[in-house]
Structure 1
Amino acid sequence: MTALAFESKSHWNYEERYLQEAKRHMVINKKDIIEELVYLMEDGERILGFYQFNIREDRSELVWFFTARESIGKGLGSLLWKNLVLRIKALGVKQFIIKSDPNAEGFYLKNGAINIGSTESVIDKNIKLALLKYRIN
């Protein structure tokens, strides 16, 4: 999953320095998989996409949401998004926060999220991440 996250992030024309810092930050480990909601979409033995979701009473958050680089823009993200919403709705989540890469913000807005501000990237303070909220009907 970590490799897919990096591959997907590399789709957007970031500088190599930024991508290497991002690679160190975008790590999904065994503890995350045990303690949080993690879902994979696979085709045989290849991971096509995944998400990691942190459920908290006070502020649930979409931690990671990535599709394979060759799948970007082909509808796979929409399928994965629908799966996410159905799963967390069944768990009683009413709304959640997304800290979105600037290149992914349009995807989340198209799927019903609203922009509520911005926050600094932990990787590069010069990059602002869109702070989004999604309410589940």
Structure 2
Amino acid sequence: MLDDICFRAKAHWGYDTVFMENVRDHIRVSGEAIALGRVWVALDPGGAPGGVVQVDRLDRARADLTLLFVAPEQMGRGFGRALFDKACDLARDLGTEELLIDSDPQAAGFYAAMGARHVGDTATGYRGRLLPRFSMALARGAL
């Protein structure tokens, strides 16, 4: 179900079938991350999953926003903001000071609006595709 949310959310932006099959394995929720408490699911009012976020530690000071996807039917309802806030909390819980985000180009405006700073681009290895890279400073003890 969580992988389905990721796939449907990515496909929502009109990517073709070939691209979607190439990214499928990169947008799966990790069972290990679930077991380690690095995944959080936002539920709709009926209790169904409406979005998912996964954060992974990169090194002592930095964490990676590995996944943040909102089901297309829940977009525009605050799920993204809640998931991003939770991602920052998860990264702080890991003891890190910075959350790095390799954003889909369609989501770059969202991350900028959340206060993340654009710091460059990351190559994906897929047909020269670049992803905007953002950095979010995480204040210690922030709520």
The one-letter amino acid paired with 2:128 is N
Which runs of 5 or more structure 2 residues have no equivalent in the other structure? none
Change (3 A) 1:87 1:53: closer
1:47-126 alignment runs, 5 A limit: 47-55=49-57, 56-122=59-125, 124-126=126-128
String of CA shifts for 1:84-108, please: whole Å, max 9, x gaps. Answer: 3234335432212111110011111
Which residue in 2 is equivalent to 1:10? 11
Contact 2:39 2:54 in 1 (8 A): yes
Count of residues in correspondence between the two structures: 136
The answer to whether residue 42 in structure 2 is matched with residue 41 in structure 1 is yes
Percent of counterpart pairs with the same letter?
A: 26
In 1, distance between residues paired with 2:13 and 2:60? 34
- Aligned with 1:51: secondary structure? strand
Quote the Cα distance in structure 2 between the aligned partners of 1:11 and 1:118: 22
Report the aligned-residue RMSD.
Answer: 1.9
Indicate the residue corresponding to 1:136 in structure 2.
138
In structure 1, stretches of 5+ residues that fail to align are none
Q: How big is each residue's C-alpha offset from its partner over 1:44-64, in whole Å with a ceiling of 9 and x where there is no partner?
A: 452111100012314311100
Q: TM-score, normalised by structure 2?
A: 0.84
